Structure 1
Amino acid sequence: MQTIAVVSEHASPLAALGGVDSGGQNLYVAHVARGLAHLGHRVDIYTRLDNPGLPAQLDWYDNVRIIHVPAGPAIALPKESLLPHMKAFGQYMQNYVRDHGIDYDVIHANFFMSAMAALPLARMSGTPLAVTFHALGKVRRMHQSQNDHFSDHRFAIEEEIVRHADCIIAECPQDRQDLIDLYEADPRHIKMVPCGYDPDELAPMDKQKARQVLGWDPSAYYILQLGRMVPRKGIDTVIRALSRLRDVHKIDARLCVVGGNLSDVNLADIDEYERLSAIAVEMQVDRWVNFAGSRARHELSRYYGASDVFVTTPWYEPFGITPLEAMACERPVIGSNTGGIKYTIVDGKTGFLVPPRNPDATAEKLAILAQAPELAQTMGRAGARRAQRMFTWQQVSMQLSGIFQELGSQAAMPYGYARSLDAPAIH
């Protein structure tokens, strides 16, 4: 078995999900690390120290420890402001490995800044480097230019990483194609491994029992939207679709929005909440929209189970874990025809794909499912079978383990599959 360094500079597995900079990557890192440990590997997770009360090192799980890297002030910072601290992050990793005599078989970097920080260590030690980007700068800029606060320097860093990483882990076919088309990635160095869900955490449950616990109307048609409260998630599209569903299709529908820290501590979430609330008032559906705020992981299965349908309509989504979770709970999913969502959902089989920012199309598909409950149940069951067959964290970890062991077998070769060791450093 291997000793693996997992690098996740801004997304700690300890972070609470649902904040501005915590979400799918935190979940991915946590489950992948535990999954690899279950397979017998030893895993060190390097993540930035963002709280002075955290220990320098934490034995978090059997064969998994978290190493908190002092890089920048020990406070929570938006990821867009972390780039100047990545040199210190990388230097700390090099010193830590040297001082503790650690010989990693593989380094798995998550996000471009993690790869930037890990690349010098990989070069110094001759350790194979695998990279999961989770989001690509050029794709992000295309879809949300006004809200992209990373500098253009990100593009050059990502291009350098693509050239010199031993393996790039694409999360879906669109991710793979974007790497090839926008970054000239060598297809031979790309492996595709999706995100996943935990069957022990998310499973079907009785709808009426779940509604009773949540205090939901037992006879109304409930739409669930779950995720971070940021504009690109397209929650406004779901609110407008709700209005059309009630006014045009005459369906007694309600919308529950789970996610977002709705306290005055998180101003970004409050701003988005106020924007969405104003849209609900404008569309005259505010009494039918419930902003439930962030919920603990163990509560999510109840929300999925109580709903009739799950809707996620972002205009940009590199992968998207929530559709998998809804499918695992036997709920049909209506999702934007974008990114990883168009891979996880089988249109017409496990749910429907709709164009982003299209409330009319979303409402039409919602009406179909509301008026045909047997179809919705069939789609829900088909989604659960697909999720169980392709998208559990156990399967994800097994696929990554196979890739990492293959990379480890190449360790005797010059770094980067005989790519130049004189390649320019990333600054």
Structure 2
Amino acid sequence: MHIAMISAHASPLTGEVEPDEHGRHVGELSAALVRAGHEVTVYTRKASGRQAAEVCSAQGYRVVHLPAGPAKHVPRDELLPYLGEFTRRLRTRFAEDLPDVVHSHFWLSGLAAVFVSMAAPMPIVHTFHSLGTTRRRNDENDPSPVERIRLERMVGQSVTRVIATSEDEVRELRGMRVTGRHVSVVPRGMDCDRFRPDGPRLTRRLRCRVVSAGQLAPRTGFADVVEAMTHLPDTELVIAGGPDRERLPQDPVACRLRELAERVGVADRVRLVGQVPTERMPELLRSADVAACVPWYEPSGNEALEAMACGVPVLATSVGDLADTVVDGATGVLVPPRRPEKLAAAMRALLADPARRDFLGATGRERVEVHHRWDRIARDTADVYEESRDRALTCSVS
């Protein structure tokens, strides 16, 4: 099958900056599909003057950088004005080489795919990764364009198939009037060879260590973990995420977390290490007794999968993908969001019970191996592609 991935806002290639979570997802999925015998081309926006027009990745998929707006990094919430140029260039490409199926990622790419399909009908599979309705409901400072929710609804209702990553997302889509018969659930994938229990681990300073990773934003719940540390003596907290360590002093969220740690008296046991490269994350995770993944809302849950793949017990909030990824009491522990006292009690119980931690770590690893290996995710995704091609063909005949 000839598959076109559209990821306007995120390249899967490592360049001047490491790919974000969406870019890594597109790259890993594309690589797994190539291993399964498919031909994959990723179309993304040219975000640097140094990027070649076309690149063949080491994993065998092609990446095409389409000029659209300035050849520099532009935050994804500011890309909408350049989407018209990106769509026109994409339409030209498809006129020369029409794929068997298109898989768009994030609402901007879905919008481009829908517009291109008006000139060249083709099956479109779409993954939102995150939804504007969820973000706006939980983040009063949401910087997304005001049109996002309306355009997401249009994308969801226009594409051939939507791939949701959790049952929570399916419910949210239903509220957007994207009906269940147009939605398939395929969970997120994980590199179980890179993220595994055996291997080097970073040294720690205290008897117990909690690691919490994710975007450096209030919604990630890092402040709740810092507050919980007041109930956990002889325990250190390592927070990974945000800019490089050198730029952390200028980051407003990092500054507020450090101020909070000072105020509650745990500053000597809380370390912010900034962005950790993907290849170094397993070493950090293996050094932890518990991984705390406690966002207020969660569109991905990738950090929990990484910890589970490393055999580290996960303490997570029961939101978004996490509610599917972590089976409470079997592969981890779930707590309500924004409840530091509940979080502290659950964390204290886990840290006091090594046998339970070993059990949850082992079952978590097993769950990731069975349900989240990229080759399985690629197979399930290819099945959705085939169903979408059949449905598109049926609609064209009728």
Aligned to 2:181: 188
How far off is 1:396 after superposition?
0.9
| Paired amino acid for 1:102 | D
Unaligned runs of 5+ in 1: 247-251, 419-427
Tell me, yes or no, if structure 1 residue 132 matches structure 2 residue 119.
no
Cα deviations by residue, 1:302-348 (Å, 9 ceiling, x for unpaired): 11111101001110111211101111111110011111111101111
Tell me, yes or no, if structure 1 residue 35 matches structure 2 residue 29.
no
Q: Which of 207, 225, 228 is the matching residue for 1:220?
A: 207
Q: Which of 22, 26, 29 is the matching residue for 1:25?
A: 22
Question: Does the 8 A contact of 1:223 with 1:254 survive in 2?
Answer: yes
Question: Does the 8 A contact of 1:41 with 1:63 survive in 2?
Answer: no
Cα deviations by residue, 1:208-228 (Å, 9 ceiling, x for unpaired): x62xxx3313x6110001122
With normalisation by structure 2, the TM-score equals 0.95
Question: Does the 8 A contact of 2:77 with 2:143 survive in 1?
Answer: yes
Question: Does the 8 A contact of 1:126 with 1:414 survive in 2?
Answer: no
SS in structure 2 opposite 1:125?
Answer: coil
* Structure-2 change in CA distance of 1:198 and 1:17 (3 Å): farther
SS in structure 2 opposite 1:319?
Answer: coil
* Structure-2 change in CA distance of 1:18 and 1:261 (3 Å): farther
Q: Which of 362, 369, 387 is the matching residue for 1:406?
A: 387
Tell me, yes or no, if structure 1 residue 199 matches structure 2 residue 187.
no
Tell me, yes or no, if structure 1 residue 179 matches structure 2 residue 173.
yes
Question: Does the 8 A contact of 2:316 with 2:335 survive in 1?
Answer: yes
SS in structure 2 opposite 1:224?
Answer: strand
Tell me, yes or no, if structure 1 residue 122 matches structure 2 residue 117.
yes
Cα distance in 2 for residues equivalent to 1:16 and 1:225: 26
SS in structure 2 opposite 1:61?
Answer: coil
Unaligned runs of 5+ in 2: none
| Paired amino acid for 1:240 | E
Cα distance in 2 for residues equivalent to 1:235 and 1:23: 19
Question: Does the 8 A contact of 1:18 with 1:260 survive in 2?
Answer: no
With normalisation by structure 1, the TM-score equals 0.89
Aligned to 1:422: none
How far off is 1:244 after superposition?
2.1
Cα distance in 1 for residues equivalent to 2:366 and 2:303: 16
Cα distance in 2 for residues equivalent to 1:76 and 1:266: 20
Runs of 4+ aligned residues of structure 1 deviating over 4 Å after TM superposition are 15-19, 263-267
Tell me, yes or no, if structure 1 residue 273 matches structure 2 residue 254.
yes
Residues 302-317 of structure 1 correspond to what in structure 2 (within 5 A)?
A: 302-317=283-298
Aligned to 1:47: 44
* Structure-2 change in CA distance of 1:345 and 1:141 (3 Å): same
Aligned to 1:234: 221
Aligned to 1:423: none
Percent sequence identity is 29
* Structure-2 change in CA distance of 1:16 and 1:51 (3 Å): closer
| Paired amino acid for 1:215 | T
Which of 105-114 and 228-237 deviates more?
228-237
Cα deviations by residue, 1:357-401 (Å, 9 ceiling, x for unpaired): 111111101111111110111111111111111111111111001
* Structure-2 change in CA distance of 1:337 and 1:380 (3 Å): same
Question: Does the 8 A contact of 1:18 with 1:227 survive in 2?
Answer: no
Cα distance in 2 for residues equivalent to 1:270 and 1:92: 36
| Paired amino acid for 1:124 | A
Aligned to 1:78: 75
Tell me, yes or no, if structure 1 residue 58 matches structure 2 residue 55.
yes
Cα deviations by residue, 1:157-200 (Å, 9 ceiling, x for unpaired): 1111111110000100000111012x111211100001011111
| Paired amino acid for 2:114 | L
Aligned to 1:89: 86
| Paired amino acid for 2:362 | R
Aligned to 1:345: 326
Tell me, yes or no, if structure 1 residue 282 matches structure 2 residue 263.
yes
Cα distance in 2 for residues equivalent to 1:23 and 1:242: 29
Cα distance in 1 for residues equivalent to 2:127 and 2:356: 36
Aligned to 2:156: 162
Cα deviations by residue, 1:274-316 (Å, 9 ceiling, x for unpaired): 1111111111111111112212212111111111010011101
* Structure-2 change in CA distance of 1:94 and 1:16 (3 Å): same
Question: Does the 8 A contact of 2:133 with 2:149 survive in 1?
Answer: yes
| Paired amino acid for 1:216 | R
| Paired amino acid for 1:84 | P
Residues 363-374 of structure 1 correspond to what in structure 2 (within 5 A)?
A: 363-374=344-355
Tell me, yes or no, if structure 1 residue 291 matches structure 2 residue 272.
yes
Cα distance in 2 for residues equivalent to 1:356 and 1:294: 24
Tell me, yes or no, if structure 1 residue 9 matches structure 2 residue 8.
yes
SS in structure 2 opposite 1:228?
Answer: coil
